[in-house]
Every structure is written in structure tokens, then in C-alpha cells.
């Protein structure tokens, strides 16, 4: 008995029992479809988390002022006024640092013509676009000379553009009033979308940090220093360099607490991404259980089929089938059932995923590996759960099988 003949026998037997074959397959179809849909949802969630982390900036290190104690009351981090733009310039000299930008934040009403809007005014350095991996949509970005001349220029995020210039006219060259000072709009940013925390990152007006300090906050200190390490591997060494540099500059000796705090987003990114992976595996695990149940369904039906066809098996043996041929026939039936079920399951799963993406508006992603894995796994289910019934059929005694009523 060659493979082709065995395959034909198996398919003939399955076609002769269409209804039963289809019902048996259904278990595998549902199992595989469930695996694909859940994995697609899980992977989609993980990728969208990764994307929003990436949008926070690459290889980012953030320096915040530390806490201060005044009359026994401790402020939280950021309470101290300890970071200066000069700290930033010193950090920029460290090896492994690609860019540094001081960040000065203040919320304020912004007025343009007849429209006004309360938004985040952020004072930054020209390196900010690089650190945030954020591209300019039109015009130009802040320059070193804007910073040096404390220029009254501003670059608008897209949300601010739509709020202040609803008519669709170009805001470039227009004047916006921030805290009584007129700023000339020199550029607009592309859409960055929501941050990992759900904040609208486009609801912002970017100005030179020097201008923000001089005209908006009136302080000599900044809220944050954003540092971009040259490579991901350099994030941790740069972080410790920054700590010792700032400790020196702020003349802090060990028992004294630091008046600043340095953090990077890698731990956060890794945690978020591994949470996604765990979720994905958990979902796939649940779906795999349904695949397993489908497999047990196959075994159940194959057992019934062996009993029901005992006389047929006896006859096949009498006319010359070897035990191996009988084993192969039943095993092939089971594998064909589960593989066809698996393929149908892939189609149903992909359609289901598209439906979920369209109706629930969930991000989905079908990793191609999982398609092969689930079809392969369902074939394995066929072998595993088909073997016992096939073995049982092959070891029947021909006379007992022929006599079976």
C-alpha cells in the first residue's frame, strides 16, 4: 500500500460519512480559529503598546529634580528647583550622549485671532525632534539662534493647529499670544498620537526653552532634562554617568540625598512588552485547550468508527490487508480530518480576525508563524488522538472482526 492509495482510501471513507466527518472537523476548526483570533488580538495589543512606547522617544533618559523638605514637609520628585540648562550642556559633553534637551512646561491659554485654547506650552531645545523621533510637518523647527536670542517663535502641534486655525489656513507666519507675549508661528509638527498614558501628545506648543524661562515661567531652572543615548546599549552606562556628573555639579556628598532623579524608559518598555507577550501566550493557551478538546472529539469519533467498522476491518484483513495497512488507513483518516479542519480553521480565524479589527476596532496582527504552527499542531493532534483507535483497529483478530455483530 503506497501513500497515495492510503490517502485515497482515507478520503473515500471520510466522504462516505460526510456529516460525521464535518462534525468531527468542527472541533478542530473552532480550535484553530480560536488560536488565530486570540493570538492576533494579543499580538496586535503588544505591537500597539510597543509603538506607543517608541513614540515616547528612543533610548530616552529623563532627569527630574528631586524632592525638597521645607519645614518637615517633603515635596515629591520635581519639587526641587535644581536643574538648569547648564546641567544639560554639561551632560551633552558626556560620551554616549546623542542629544540633550531641557524641558520647561507650563499650561497657558493661547490666543490666535478670534480663537483661544488652553494647552501645554513646552520650552525645548532644537534637539527635541531628534529625541522624540518626531517629524516636522511644515515650516522650520526651533534653531540654536532662536534659543540664544530668546526668540518669540513657536512650533504648533496638530491639535493646537486645528483648534486655533479651524479654517484650514496655514498657521505659519501668524502670531499667537501666550501669556501676553506675541509668538510667531514658524512650523507645525506631524501627528504623534496618544502617549502610552492616553495623553494627546499633539496638544502642545513648542517654544525655545530660553524663551519659556524668560517670558513664561520667569525661573532659572527647568522641569526636566531629556537625554537621548546614542544606542540602546548605552542607556544604562550613560544613566550612571549622568548621576555622578550631576552629583558633582550639585556638590552632593554621599549621606546627602540627591536633589534629582534619573530614569529611563527601557524597564517600562520591557515590562509593557513582556506583559503583552504573557497576555498573548495566555490567550493562545486558552485557545489551545479548545484545540485539545477538538482532538479528543476526533479520538472519540475514530473509536466509534473503529467499532462501527469492525466487520469492514475483518474483511479488509481477509482479502489481504496487513495490520500496518489498517493502521495507516485509520491514522490517515484522522490526520486528513484534522489537517483539513486546521486549514478551514485558519480561513475562519483570519476572517474572524478581520471582523474583530473592523467591528471592535481592535488592533490585530496575525503572526504568520502561528498559522503554520496551528495547522501543524492540528495535524499533530490528528496523529496523537488517531493513533490509539488506529492501533486498536490494526490489532483486531480477523476472525473476531468478521464475526462481530
Partner 1 sequence: MGGVVEVRNLRKIYPMGDDEVVALGGVDLSIERGEFIAVMGPSGSGKSTFMQIVGMLDRATSGSYSFEGRDVAALTDDERADIRSRRLGFVFQSYNLLPRTSALENVELPMVYAGVPEARRLDIALEKMDIVGIKSLADHMPNQMSGGQQQRIAIARSLVNDPALILADEPTGALDTKTSRDVMRIFSDLNATRDITIMLVTHEPDIAAFAKRIVTFRDGHILSDVPNVKRAA
Q: Which of these, 92, 67, 90, lies nearest to 261 by C-alpha position? A: 67
Among 176, 317, 337, 346, binds partner 1 (CB under 8 A): 317
Q: How far is the CB of 402 from partner 1 (least distance, A)?
A: 7
Q: How far is the CB of 392 from partner 1 (least distance, A)?
A: 16
Among 135, 166, 248, 322, binds partner 1 (CB under 8 A): 322
Q: How far apart are the first and last CA of the chain?
A: 28
Tell me if 325 sits within 8 A of 6, measured CB to CB. yes
Cβ-based nearer residue to partner 1, 315 or 357: 315
Measured between alpha carbons, how far is 83 from 257 in angstroms, rounded to an integer?
A: 15
Q: Which residues contact 344 (CB under 8 A, 6 or more apart)?
A: 25, 29, 32
Cβ-based nearer residue to partner 1, 319 or 359: 319
Among 323, 357, 365, 373, binds partner 1 (CB under 8 A): 323
Q: Which residues contact 81 (CB under 8 A, 6 or more apart)?
A: 65, 219, 221
318 contacts partner 1 (rule: CB under 8 A):
yes
Touching partner 1, residues 156-215 (CB under 8 A)? none
Please name the residue that has the C-alpha cell 464475526.
Answer: 403
Cβ-based nearer residue to partner 1, 314 or 342: 314
> Nine-digit cell at 331?
491514522
Q: How far is the CB of 311 from partner 1 (least distance, A)?
A: 6
Measured between alpha carbons, how far is 152 from 154 in angstroms, rounded to an integer?
A: 7
89 contacts partner 1 (rule: CB under 8 A):
no
311 contacts partner 1 (rule: CB under 8 A):
yes
DSSP 103: E
What Å distances lie between residue 44 and 233, 269, 347, CA to CA? 27, 16, 18
- Judged by CB under 8 A, the stretch of 121-129, 218-226, 285-293, 320-328 that binds partner 1 is 320-328
Q: Which residues contact 152 (CB under 8 A, 6 or more apart)?
A: 181, 182, 183, 184, 207, 211, 215
Among 1, 23, 271, 304, binds partner 1 (CB under 8 A): 1
Q: Which of these, 37, 42, 64, lies nearest to 275 by C-alpha position? A: 42
217: number of CA atoms within 13 Å, CB side? Answer: 22
Among 16, 107, 251, 361, binds partner 1 (CB under 8 A): 16
Among 44, 57, 314, 345, binds partner 1 (CB under 8 A): 314
Measured between alpha carbons, how far is 193 from 85 in angstroms, rounded to an integer?
A: 28
Cβ-based nearer residue to partner 1, 73 or 319: 319
# of chain residues touching partner 1 (CB under 8 A):
24
Site string for partner 1, 44-83 (x = CB under 8 A): ----------------------------------------
Please name the residue that has the C-alpha cell 517629524.
Answer: 135
Cβ-based nearer residue to partner 1, 284 or 337: 337
Touching partner 1, residues 366-405 (CB under 8 A)? 397-399, 402
> Nine-digit cell at 237?
552606562
Q: How far is the CB of 316 from partner 1 (least distance, A)?
A: 7
DSSP 200: B
7 contacts partner 1 (rule: CB under 8 A):
no
Nearest 5°: the CA angle 149, 59, 130 is 35
Among 160, 164, 287, 321, binds partner 1 (CB under 8 A): 321
Please name the residue that has the C-alpha cell 473503529.
Answer: 306
Q: How far is the CB of 301 from partner 1 (least distance, A)?
A: 17
Q: How far is the CB of 368 from partner 1 (least distance, A)?
A: 38
Cβ-based nearer residue to partner 1, 204 or 327: 327
Site residues, partner 1 (CB under 8 A): 1-2, 5, 9, 12, 16, 311-312, 314-325, 397-399, 402
Amino acid at each position: 500500500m503506497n501513500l497515495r492509495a492510503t490517502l485515497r482510501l482515507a478520503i473515500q471513507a471520510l466522504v462516505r460519512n460526510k456529516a460525521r466527518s464535518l462534525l468531527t472537523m468542527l472541533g478542530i476548526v473552532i480550535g484553530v480559529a480560536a488560536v488565530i483570533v486570540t493570538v492576533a488580538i494579543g499580538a496586535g495589543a503588544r505591537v500597539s503598546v510597543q509603538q506607543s512606547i517608541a513614540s515616547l522617544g528612543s533610548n530616552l533618559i529623563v532627569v527630574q529634580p528631586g524632592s525638597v523638605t521645607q519645614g518637615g514637609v517633603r515635596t515629591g520628585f520635581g519639587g526641587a528647583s535644581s536643574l538648569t540648562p547648564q546641567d544639560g550642556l554639561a551632560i551633552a559633553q558626556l560620551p554616549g550622549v546623542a542629544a540633550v534637551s531641557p524641558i520647561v512646561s507650563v499650561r497657558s491659554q493661547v490666543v490666535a485671532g478670534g480663537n483661544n485654547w488652553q494647552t501645554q506650552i513646552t520650552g525645548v531645545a532644537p534637539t527635541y525632534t531628534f529625541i522624540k523621533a518626531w517629524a516636522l510637518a511644515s515650516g522650520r523647527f526651533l534653531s540654536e539662534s532662536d534659543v540664544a536670542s530668546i526668540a518669540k517663535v513657536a512650533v504648533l502641534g496638530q491639535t493646537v493647529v486645528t483648534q486655533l486655525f479651524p479654517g484650514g489656513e496655514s498657521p505659519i507666519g501668524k502670531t499667537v499670544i501666550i501669556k501676553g507675549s506675541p509668538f510667531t508661528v514658524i512650523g507645525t509638527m506631524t501627528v504623534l498620537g496618544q502617549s502610552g498614558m492616553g495623553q494627546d501628545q499633539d496638544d502642545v506648543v513648542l517654544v525655545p526653552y530660553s524663551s519659556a524661562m524668560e517670558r513664561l515661567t520667569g525661573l532659572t531652572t527647568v522641569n526636566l532634562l531629556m537625554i537621548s543615548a546614542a544606542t540602546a546599549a548605552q542607556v544604562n552606562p550613560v544613566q550612571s554617568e549622568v548621576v555622578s556628573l550631576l552629583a558633582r555639579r550639585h556638590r552632593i556628598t554621599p549621606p546627602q540625598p540627591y536633589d534629582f532623579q534619573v530614569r529611563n524608559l527601557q524597564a517600562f518598555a520591557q515590562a509593557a512588552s513582556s506583559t503583552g507577550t504573557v497576555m498573548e501566550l495566555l490567550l493562545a493557551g486558552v485557545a489551545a485547550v479548545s484545540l485539545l478538546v477538538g482532538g479528543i472529539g476526533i479520538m472519540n469519533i475514530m473509536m466509534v468508527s473503529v467499532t462501527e467498522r469492525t466487520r469492514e476491518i475483518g474483511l479488509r484483513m481477509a482479502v489481504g490487508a496487513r495490520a500496518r495497512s489498517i493502521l495507516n488507513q485509520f491514522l490517515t483518516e484522522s490526520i486528513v480530518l484534522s489537517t483539513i479542519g486546521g486549514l478551514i480553521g485558519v480561513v475562519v480565524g483570519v476572517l474572524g480576525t478581520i471582523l474583530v479589527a473592523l467591528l471592535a476596532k481592535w488592533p490585530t496582527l496575525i503572526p504568520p508563524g502561528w498559522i503554520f504552527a496551528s495547522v501543524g499542531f492540528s495535524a499533530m493532534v490528528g496523529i496523537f488522538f488517531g493513533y490509539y483507535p488506529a492501533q486498536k483497529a490494526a490489532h483486531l483478530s480477523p476472525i473476531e472482526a468478521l464475526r462481530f455483530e
